[in-house]
Amino acid sequence: MTPALQISGLKKSFGGLPAMDDVALEVMAGERRLIIGPNGAGKTTLFNLITGDLPRDAGTIRLFGEEVSRLQPHQRAHRGLARTYQIITLFPHDTLEHNILLSLLGLSPARWSAFRPLARHAELYTEAHRVLGLVGLAHLTRRPIGEVAYGERRRVEIAMALAQKPKVLLLDEPLAGLSREERGTVKQLIAGIPREVTVVMIEHDMDTALDMAERITVLHYGSVIVEGTRAEVVADPKTREVYLGD
């Protein structure tokens, strides 16, 4: 079976310092993969290289067998790659509905209809409401982003990614900064993502996120040091040494 995401020999340096050092990663279709590691391990850099937000120095990145390493971020998005960001990137003065509409426009032919008012694209509004319903925010459709709680903004960002109907979804610390109740809500949301979507998630808090993945990859200084099931990763001495400080 062809992996949904396959990375080989991935390298990236900043000022001569390696941030990604010959990383190999293989995630199968429908899998839930967790990427963990201490601060500075290279987790977000890995995502930025996968999406094309950063150019790689070496290595290959394949989506369902297709080499995408030379493609621009928007071209990778058109091949089914979507992501969220560690720092929330929403338009605070726009409504939840309008934020989702902008996400939908990115992959819709309607984006070329420069002289047709957005309000005339009824199908986009219908889809925006549907997606907001998926994350439990249909009742806040017309509310400005700046007037909703932080946890709700996290859900909006996930909704924007889901609106693009991704095949591979990258979630960068979706639980960061959330209260216990909000974490529970977002974890339930992620658990409900259909299996047609492959989910790769970064988390800094290992204890919070371990139950959300089938396989776990531990990064340390830009290298994969441990990979396996939850039990295998927790039991490995290298995990305790670099992540738990034992």
> Which structural domain range is residue 20 located in?
5-244
Please answer whether residues 94 and 144 qualify as being in contact, where contact means their C-beta atoms are separated by less than 8 angstroms.
yes
Positions of the chain with pLDDT under 50: 112
The number of beta carbons lying within 10 Å of the beta carbon of residue 130 is 13
Report pLDDT for 112: 44
Residue 226 in contact with residue 35, Cβ under 8 Å?
Answer: no
Residue of 219, 220, 169, 245 lying closest to 5 (CA atoms): 169
Using CB atoms within 10 Å of the CB of residue 164, give its burial: 0 to 12 exposed, 13 to 18 middle, 19+ buried. Answer: buried
Q: What is the pLDDT of residues 164-223, one digit of tens each?
A: 899 999 999 999 888 889 888 999 999 999 999 999 999 877 777 788 899 999 999 999
Q: How far apart are CA 222 and CA 236, in angstroms?
A: 18
Q: Are the beta carbons of 158 and 189 closer than 8 angstroms?
A: yes
Distance (Å, whole) CA 216 – CA 53: 24
pTM above 0.75, yes or no: yes
Count: domains in the chain: 1
List the CATH number of the domain containing 234. Answer: 3.40.50.300
Q: Given this model, what pLDDT does residue 125 score?
A: 86
Give residue for tokens 């017309």. 142
Please tell me the predicted confidence (pLDDT) of residue 111. Answer: 52
Which pLDDT belongs to residue 210? 80
Contact 170, 84 (CB under 8 A): yes
